Structure 1
Amino acid sequence: MEIYKLTTFLLTIELCDIINSQTEPVANVQDATVKNGENAVITCDYTLTGTRTFLAAQWYNSTSTGDRLNLLVNSALTNPNGRYAVDTTQPGVANLTIANTVLSDDGYYLCRIVDSPDAETGEHFGKLTVQYFESSSSLTIGVNNNITAQNVIITCSGTVGGNPVPDINLYRNSTLIKTQSTLPLTYTIATVSEDDGGIYRCEASNNIGNVTSNTITLHYYKPIFEQYTYTVGPGEKYVITADVNANPQEVTYVWSSDDVNDTDTNPTTFTFIASSVEDNTIYEISVIATNLIGSTSKTMWIAVSATNQIESTNSAKITIPSTEKTVEPCNSNIGLIIGMLFVGIIIGAVGFYIGQIIYNKIRKKSLAKKRDTDKRKQDTYMDYVGDAGEQNQTYQDLQHKVEESAYVNVKTGNRNKGLKA
């Protein structure tokens, strides 16, 4: 019997605990996010059991495990606590408002719902995230070497802060080429190409703000020949150096000539002995310069001279150990000859045109004179009149219509047979 009574008592206590636990309010806090300086709203939804009624909503700071810390605001009080206020006007909702958030507001908050009778409570906690971008953030960009062909390393470095954690981005011109969330950021160009050229910059950003680094410019191009002054002389040893600008600077050279042979082993130079004949010998030497971006070729015409000195338009430099004289490249003489020939053709054409005009005038004048002479002849034989009174005279006076008298022998007879002298 005693065992029965003890069992009944224990079951009664347990049943009462179950009933009492069902009467407690149920609270649920939703995590919230706010930008630094804006108002934050943290929502606490709650439900009451049976006929129990809402009494108050209390908000606390809490730990990350839900332990209550200091009380911030209580809806049962008439005056809110500073920047904190609770809104319970909507049934089943108790919102906490934090005005003008600061970075220290980031953390955990606990909502405690109190109902009646007997002041049963239910509570829950959630997290408020205050987003920001650190105003003191700074970035720089650097490159280990921008004139090599391989392993060019671009680095973004500095100090960046914010919530959420800012992304670190590397741009070439306007194209994003790499991103990560930590510093430093490095970008390696194993083997450069012309497409790797451009303006590079680093940027750190989140949804609140950003900061940008300075810029660097990488300019990759194939070899470019420069202008130099030739120094040559008859019978001398000439060393031609193919000095070029290029990026990457690793350049290979290929020399060629049908006139002379290269006597040195240096790939950047061409060495030969010039003819001792002045102003008659011309050498044609070509070079092809190549780097990782492309190739450029150049041909030089070198005339042997002991007196001429000009600045060449060809892209190569000649170094002579024992003389400081210079030579005019052959292509300059060719240009002068072509120019003179062209001028000669023009002058010849003008002279021919003027000659034609003079010839035509002389010819017209000659033809006019000839016509006058022919007319005179016609007048001599046809435009004469005689005395018709005498029929058998041997001589007859003939009078020209315009000029003085002329005398001719005449013989009577048939007129149609002509006149005989």
Structure 2
Amino acid sequence: MLSKQDIYLHLFLLCFLRKYVAVTVTVDDVDVAEGSEARITCNIVPASSGAVPVVTWYNVTNAANDLIANYQGGFGLVEPGYSERFSVENDITLVITNTHRSDSGTYQCSANLVGDSPSVDDDICTLTVNYFSSGNVITINVNSNTTAYNVIITCFPGTVDGNPVPDINLYKDTTIINTQKTLPLTYTIATVSDDDSGDYRCEASNSVGSVTSNTITLDYYKPRYETTEPDTLKPGKIGMIAVENVEVNPERVTYIWSIDGVVDPNANSASFTFTGSMVVGTVHTISVNVTNLIGSTSKTIRIAVSERSNSNTGLIIGMLFVGIFIGAVGLYIGQIIHNKIRKKSLSEKQNTDKRKQDTYMDYVGESRGQNQTYQDLQHRVEESAYVNVKAGNKNKKGKM
């Protein structure tokens, strides 16, 4: 409940303010992205509803007012130095198109009500033009993707500039795991674990824009491997098991071997040797455990002691079958070659006999009534076969 004194004081202040504050001006701060439109509105409360104020806009630089525009009742002028991108709407709104980062600063609106006293009021505001620029993309690097300790991921700087100052973020998959305002950014994994596997990238960003680096992948997993071992072992002989084709990240691993349930404290490499029992039928159980920081992989191998190694028997049988096969193939090929040679010899012999017979018959036919000699027959150019004929008259008996 107000007292009479409070009521009188309130009425006095209203009358005083009504008399001496004819116009009230307020301007709110404005944030815009570079290249967009900025609108700065001057809120004017006149003393009388019919008064039309003269509204003047200034750019305040180093405490000096640089005139931008003067407007009253929808009419006015924008100064030539601002007319390309600055305009005024409804006297009270200053519009800046395609804002530049250089437009950031302080602006003043002044309202003058002619006939009111006092008739002038003004207010200032701050225009902030936000921007983002990157001359070169940022990059990400890791000192090693196979080591187990002190893995260092680094975001290297490009030329990044912006308002507000960009945040430098390091992402693992879709989660930000580190952030700062400056480059380079470094992130260290002291001891790797399975949770550290994933895709890593760097990003510089603010409310206006962003730029992202390339992506690196860290893939950590427990050991994967194969073993080689004999099927069986002769009594008292030495057997060996080897771990091969190991795939693991990080690369640092340890080996633990045991035989028949007893761990061998001296066996800590990728191979294991042991002496088989002298008792035929004994089955040795050998286990190997390969471990890195991510986890362990175990394998159990059973080797029986027998009089003859299964692997040697199989080798002997295999060699026997190979020998039989090679011998059969060789015999078959030899038979084919022999038959071809034999057929060729028979054919040549038959051709030679035929030529001899034809030559002799020709000689007998042509020599009737003539004294042909052996030399005559021998020098027949068209024939290559010869008949043993004695020189002399054809009526004489010749030896064949």
* TM-score range relative to shorter protein: 0.5 to 0.7
Mapped partners of 2:268, 2:22: distance in 1: 93
With over 3 angstroms needed to count, the CA separation of the structure-2 counterparts of 1:161 and 1:124, relative to structure 1, is same
Whether the 8 Å contact between 1:30 and 1:43 is mirrored in structure 2 is: yes
Q: Which consecutive residues of structure 1, in runs of 5 or more, have no partner in the other structure?
A: 1-17, 309-326, 337-421
Matched residues in 1 for 2:312 and 2:37: separation?
A: 81
- Deviation per CA, 1:71-105: give whole Å up to 9, x if none: 1112156443332122235xxxx111111111111
Tell me: CA distance 1:103–1:303, structure 2 relative to 1, closer, same or farther (3 Å): same
Structure 2: distance between partners of 1:260 and 1:119: 104
1:333-390 alpha-carbon deviations (Å, 9 max, x no partner): 9xx9xxxxxxxxxxxxxxxxxxxxxxxxxxxxxxxxxxxxxxxxxxxxxxxxxxxxxx
Give, as a single letter, the amino acid of the residue that structure 1 aligns with 2:98.
N
- Residue of 233, 255, 258 corresponding to 1:256: 258
The 5 Å alignment of 1:6-405 reads: 22-23=20-21, 25-49=23-47, 53-63=51-61, 67-75=63-71, 78-80=76-78, 81-88=83-90, 94-117=92-115, 120-136=119-135, 138-159=137-158, 160-226=160-226, 242-243=243-244, 244-258=246-260, 265=266, 267-270=268-271, 272=273, 285-300=286-301, 328=311
What is the alpha-carbon distance in structure 1 between the residues aligned to residue 172 and residue 101 of structure 2?
34
* Structure 2 unmatched runs, 5+: 1-15, 319-400
CA RMSD, 1 decimal: 4.4
1:329 Cα shift? 9.6
How far 1:32 sits from its partner (Å)? 0.8
**Counterpart-to-counterpart distance in 2, 1:288 and 1:282:** 20
**Shift in Å at residue 41 of structure 1?**
0.3
Q: Which moved more, 1:265-274 or 1:39-48?
A: 265-274
Question: Is contact 2:257-2:267 (8 Å) kept?
Answer: no
For residues 143 and 168 of structure 2, what CA distance do their matches in structure 1 show? 19
Indicate how the Cα distance of structure 1 residues 261 and 199 shifts in structure 2: closer, same or farther if over 3 A, else same: closer
Cα distance in 1 for partners of 2:43, 2:130 equals: 24
Determine the C-alpha separation between the residues in 2 that align with 1:102 and 1:46: 28
User: Normalising by the residue count of structure 2, what TM-score does the alignment of the two structures yield?
Assistant: 0.58
In 1, distance between residues paired with 2:84 and 2:143?
A: 55
- Cα 1:137/1:54, change in 2 over 3 Å: farther
Instruction: Give yes or no for contact 1:171–1:200 (8 Å, CA) kept in 2.
Output: yes
Taking structure 1 as reference, are residues 266 and 245 closer, same or farther at Cα in structure 2, changes over 3 Å only? same
Q: Report the CA distance shift for 1:111/1:40 in structure 2 as closer, same or farther (over 3 A).
A: same
**Count of aligned positions:** 288
| Partners of 2:17 and 2:57 in 1: CA distance | 27
SS at match of 2:138: strand
Change (3 A) 1:119 1:21: closer
| Aligned-pair identity (%) | 44
Residue aligned with 2:256, SS: strand
